Amino acid sequence: MKENLIKQDIFYVGAIDAERRIFDELIPLPDGTTYNSYIIKGSEKTVLIDSVDPTRKNVLFDNLNKANIEKIDYIISQHGEQDHSGSIPFLLEAYPMVKVITNTKCKSELMDLLLIDEGRFIVVEDGQEISIGSKTLRFIFTPWVHWPETMVTYVPEDKILFSCDFFGSHLTMDKPYPDNPEDIYIPAKRYFAEIMSPFRSVIRKNLEKIAGLDIEIIAPSHGPLHKGKDFIFGCYKDWASENVKNEVLIAYVSMHGSTEKITDYFIKALSKRKVEVKAFNLADADIGEIAMALVDAATAVIGSPTVLAGTHPKAIFAAFLVKALRPKTKFLSVIGSYGWGGKMVEQLADMLGSVGAEILEPVLVKGFPKEEDFKMLDSLADKILQKHKEIGLV
């Protein structure tokens, strides 16, 4: 177990799932993922921090055997989602005396989701500490990283923060730490964008709440660990801020080439004006990349043809994604084509209204784009540049 030793008497016992390619049947996993689980051996009690996805429970049990863990006193359940809690019922069977330490909300979730008996829990409050002899566990509630019950655990003797989904990344590596912190920038940003960006105001409060901790190691529940907090805290402060960049996200789909031609022209028009463009063809787009682009883009544009008098279903999906992620995007618009009319703009405006961004005059083209349509696209590009200037991005 030497390679899994994180600190004196703290071991990694989690599982790597390099082949997994989708999470929640929604989120792409280009680099697989890991379900991190840790053993802490205090002089009086032995503790397991989180379990693993139930599909990998045998790996967890193998690792516990290899580490000669014959007795576990407490399982700390920091988050009810099954990729961390799903093997707890099997642990409760294997270790009949073990108790699950968690908060009231998580206890309720674990009883509902995993049918765990109420008698197996010890409930803790925010800031409460439990001694396991030579080490102390301090529980800090950090709601919405990722569910409302999520909490983190700090061990002051080792200056280690077990952060659960907070600061995690879907990334498999053959070592606990990246060679350079920058190596995990994209996976960590993707992870933030997919599951935490809608809750960024709470994330900012959580960052403040733990900012004063003396941290040598952050041990999340997915992906590599972090040495120190400066790099990943800096990333999170940027991503969770309300700051946007001089960037336009374009998510489009085309059936017969008209919307593609419109989009190609529009990308060039924005680029000529030195506005950065991140364009995604919805025919095969990775929604994690769209989510990442939404962390920065000042403007988002949906491009769609008209289908059955309305928006193409793939563009509807993109609009739904934008709405669900509640991005900091300040301006929205629509480009696309139609044959004989339809309700595309009304449909998208209705869906995106709750985002709270200013809607810029859409450009809808009848059939294939012509000279006057390109002028309208130039006007929309001018308008976007002007709006970006008005908010100080240029």
Residues near ligand FEO (CB under 6 A) are: 79, 81, 83-84, 146, 165, 221-222
Is 165 or 260 the residue whose CB approaches ligand FEO more closely?
A: 165
Closest CA to 294 of 146, 194, 187, 182: 194
Is 23 or 154 the residue whose CB approaches ligand FEO more closely?
A: 23
CB of 35 vs ligand FEO, minimal distance in Å: 8
The token duo for 353 is: 């209204």
Is 163 or 329 the residue whose CB approaches ligand FEO more closely?
A: 163
Is 79 or 120 the residue whose CB approaches ligand FEO more closely?
A: 79
CA distances for 7 relative to 11, 35, 41, 341, angstroms: 7, 19, 10, 65
CB of 144 vs ligand FEO, minimal distance in Å: 10
Q: How far apart are CA 72 and CA 80, in angstroms?
A: 20
Cite the beta strand spans of 21-98 per DSSP E. 22-23, 27-28, 33-35, 38-41, 46-49, 74-76
CB of 147 vs ligand FEO, minimal distance in Å: 6
Is 113 or 349 the residue whose CB approaches ligand FEO more closely?
A: 113
Closest CA to 333 of 310, 355, 306: 355
Closest CA to 384 of 276, 278, 231: 276
Coil, strand, or helix at residue 138?
strand
Closest CA to 282 of 246, 227, 320: 320
Is 222 or 328 the residue whose CB approaches ligand FEO more closely?
A: 222
CB of 30 vs ligand FEO, minimal distance in Å: 17
CB of 6 vs ligand FEO, minimal distance in Å: 19
CB of 33 vs ligand FEO, minimal distance in Å: 8
Is 17 or 165 the residue whose CB approaches ligand FEO more closely?
A: 165
Q: Do 249 and 194 meet the contact criterion of CB atoms below 8 Å apart?
A: no
The backbone torsions φ and ψ at residue 88, rounded to the nearest 5 degrees and listed phi first, read -60, -45
Is 79 or 388 the residue whose CB approaches ligand FEO more closely?
A: 79
Coil, strand, or helix at residue 387?
helix
Within 13 A of 280's CA, how many CA atoms are on the CB side? 23
The token duo for 126 is: 């925010």
For CA atoms 105, 84, 38, 192, give the dihedral sign: negative
The token duo for 122 is: 């010890």
CA distances for 319 relative to 29, 327, 334, angstroms: 22, 12, 10
CB of 162 vs ligand FEO, minimal distance in Å: 13
CB of 78 vs ligand FEO, minimal distance in Å: 10
Is 149 or 296 the residue whose CB approaches ligand FEO more closely?
A: 149
CB of 85 vs ligand FEO, minimal distance in Å: 9
